[in-house]
Amino acid sequence: MGRRVVPDTVEAIAGAVAQARAQGGLILVTGGIGPTRDDRTREGVARALGRPLRVDRVAERDVRAWCRRIRAPYSSDRARQSLIPTGATALSNRTGSAPGIWYADARGMVAVLPGVTGELKAMLPTLLPRLRRRAGEEIASATLRVAGPGESTVDARVASLSKRFPRTEVTTLASPGEVVIQLRCRGKAAGREVSRCRAAMARRLGRDLVSECGKTLEEEVLSLLRQRRLRMAVAESCTAGMVAARLTSVPGSSRSFLGGAVCYNDRAKTRILSVPTKILERDGAVSRRATLAMAKGVIDLTGAEVAVAITGIAGPGGAAPGKPVGLVHWAVGTQGGLRAWRRRLTGDREKIRSHAATIALDLVRRALLARGRIARTLRD
């Protein structure tokens, strides 16, 4: 396993593919199949395979259809996208202009897919049946998602399991406020091995476990809301829309998410959420009272049953005596009442903001799990 990034030249691409061919297995090449002059992947792969490019009927039909759709002429640059190495198969791209390429022989497989993330993601599943046909060995994997404790704490809690499941390879990946644990195993009964290891980890992680099926924090929050027939709203200051954007990245989120307010300055807090001017003057916008008033305000405004409010100092400016950069207050409102937390986060502006958004979602998750009784989870 490995990954390489090479410059946009035929020589570099051909060289890298030829080298990778020596190792066998699957070579996945992404990017460089668009219509512009620096898109040279087709030529590079064709040279590495020693198979000249030819016009492919399926690819040409797809490229022509795309041109009609975006009302662009089928120019000579576009026509280059219909070229495929002899002996290879074109892979239809339903979300973009560039058809992919599939090639397989005794030495291995080469798949060429677009570099645009959305198109790549949409096309990856088309490789699965082709790969299964060639795979001999059983391979299993699982993803657990944890919110709250840091990577070292999570690692320490699950470390001893590696003795019980020596064949399962464990990788952890941390982002602010979240840790993703990946399990991988190959060979006989790999599926059973991984699911046992996953279950043992889940027991050790308790409430800190967001999901053991790869579900994201926002997906889990939306599932809990749907199960409980509750609708949610947000009142965001320092995260300014990040919590709303994460929730609505999930298709169907409109069933449980109503919307809310982005109140980036004091006037917006007063005008949109009716936060009393008195609180902003006495306690300041980054305070327990302000965040509680924001949560109450957005519930009154939207009629939601669940709300989370976030206000903090993301930096680099904005610090005041007793209110350092990184200080964040959250409030969660449910039918069980309102509750506030605060914590000082570390890192730069983007890290503080995304960490604050993650904690907001996690507080809602824990509140929903506690069924009305909100657990005290953050150090005050």
Binders of a second copy among residues 45 to 74 (CB under 8 A) are: 69-70, 72
Question: Contacting a second copy (CB under 8 A), which of 65, 131, 139, 159?
Answer: 159
Count of residues in contact with a second copy, rule CB under 8 A = 83
Least separation in angstroms between CB 91 and a second copy: 17
Characterize 149-174 residue by residue with b for buried, 16 or more Cβ atoms within 10 angstroms of its Cβ, and e for exposed.
Answer: bebeebeebbeebeeebeebebeeee
For strands 178-186 and 108-113, give the pairing: unpaired
With CB under 8 A as the contact rule, which of the stretches 21-29, 31-39, 140-148, 206-214 interacts with a second copy? 31-39
Q: What pairs with residue 171 in β-bridges?
A: 182
- Closest approach, Cβ 360 to a second copy, in A, equals 12
Asked whether position 260 contacts a second copy by CB under 8 A, the answer is yes
Residue 146, φ and ψ in degrees, nearest 5: -125, 140
Tell me if 202 sits within 8 A of 343, measured CB to CB: no
Does position 268 bind a second copy by CB under 8 A? yes
Residues within window 111-150 making contact with a second copy, judged by CB under 8 A: 116, 118-119, 121-122, 150
The C-alpha atoms of residue 102 and residue 128 are separated, in whole angstroms, by: 12
Burial 14-44 (b: 16+ CB within 10 A, else e): bbbbbebbeeeeebebbbbbbbeeebbbbbb
Output 1 or 128, the one with its CB closest to a second copy: 1
The pattern of x and - marking residues 316 through 355 that bind a second copy according to CB under 8 A reads xxx---------------------------xxxxxx-x--
Q: Does 272 bind a second copy (CB under 8 A)?
A: yes
Amino acid at 291: T
Question: By C-alpha distance, which of 351, 367, 369, 285 is closest to 314?
Answer: 351
- The least distance separating a second copy from the CB of residue 57, rounded to whole angstroms, comes to 23
Interaction residues for a second copy, span 4-23 (CB under 8 A): 4-8, 12, 16
Closest CB to a second copy among residues 164, 371:
164
Does 76 contact a second copy by CB under 8 A? no
Nearest-5° angle of CA 183, CA 186, CA 191?
70
Residue 299 interacts with a second copy (CB under 8 A)? no
Cβ proximity to a second copy, 218 vs 374, nearer residue: 218
Judged by CB under 8 A, the chain residues 303 through 322 that form the site for a second copy are 303, 315-318
Do 33 and 100 touch, CB atoms closer than 8 A?
A: yes
Q: Is 40 in the site for a second copy (CB under 8 A)?
A: no
Smallest gap from Cβ 122 to a second copy, in A, equals: 6
Using the rule CB under 8 A, which residue among 28, 53, 64, 155 binds a second copy?
155
With tokens 């929050």, the residue in question is 221
Q: Which is nearer to a second copy, 85 or 257 (CB)?
A: 257
Which residue from 41, 211, 239, 334 is in contact with a second copy, where contact means CB under 8 A?
239
> Per-residue b/e over 282-299, b at no fewer than 16 CB within 10 Å?
ebbbbbbbbbbbbbbbbb
Is residue 152 within 8 Å of residue 170, measured between CB atoms? no
253 binds a second copy (CB under 8 A): yes
Q: Which is nearer to a second copy, 138 or 266 (CB)?
A: 266
Tell me the closest approach of the beta carbon of residue 133 to a second copy, in angstroms: 26
- The SS3 assignment for 367 reads helix
Answer yes or no whether residue 92 interacts with a second copy by CB under 8 A: no
* 210 belongs to the binding site for a second copy (CB under 8 A): no
Q: Within its chain, how far is the Cα of 32 from the centroid? A: 24
Among 140, 146, 225, 258, binds a second copy (CB under 8 A): 258
Strand partners, 178: 147, 175
Q: What are the C-alpha distances in Å from 306 to residues 210, 256, 339, 365?
A: 19, 10, 12, 11
Residue 81 found at the interface with a second copy (CB under 8 A): no
Angle between helices 41-49 and 10-23 (to 10 degrees): 40
Residues found in the chain: 380
In this complex, which beta carbon is closest to a second copy, that of residue 86 or of residue 152?
Answer: 152
Under rule CB under 8 A, residue 186 binds a second copy = no
State phi, psi for 172 to the nearest 5 degrees. -115, 145
Tokens of 239: 């995260």
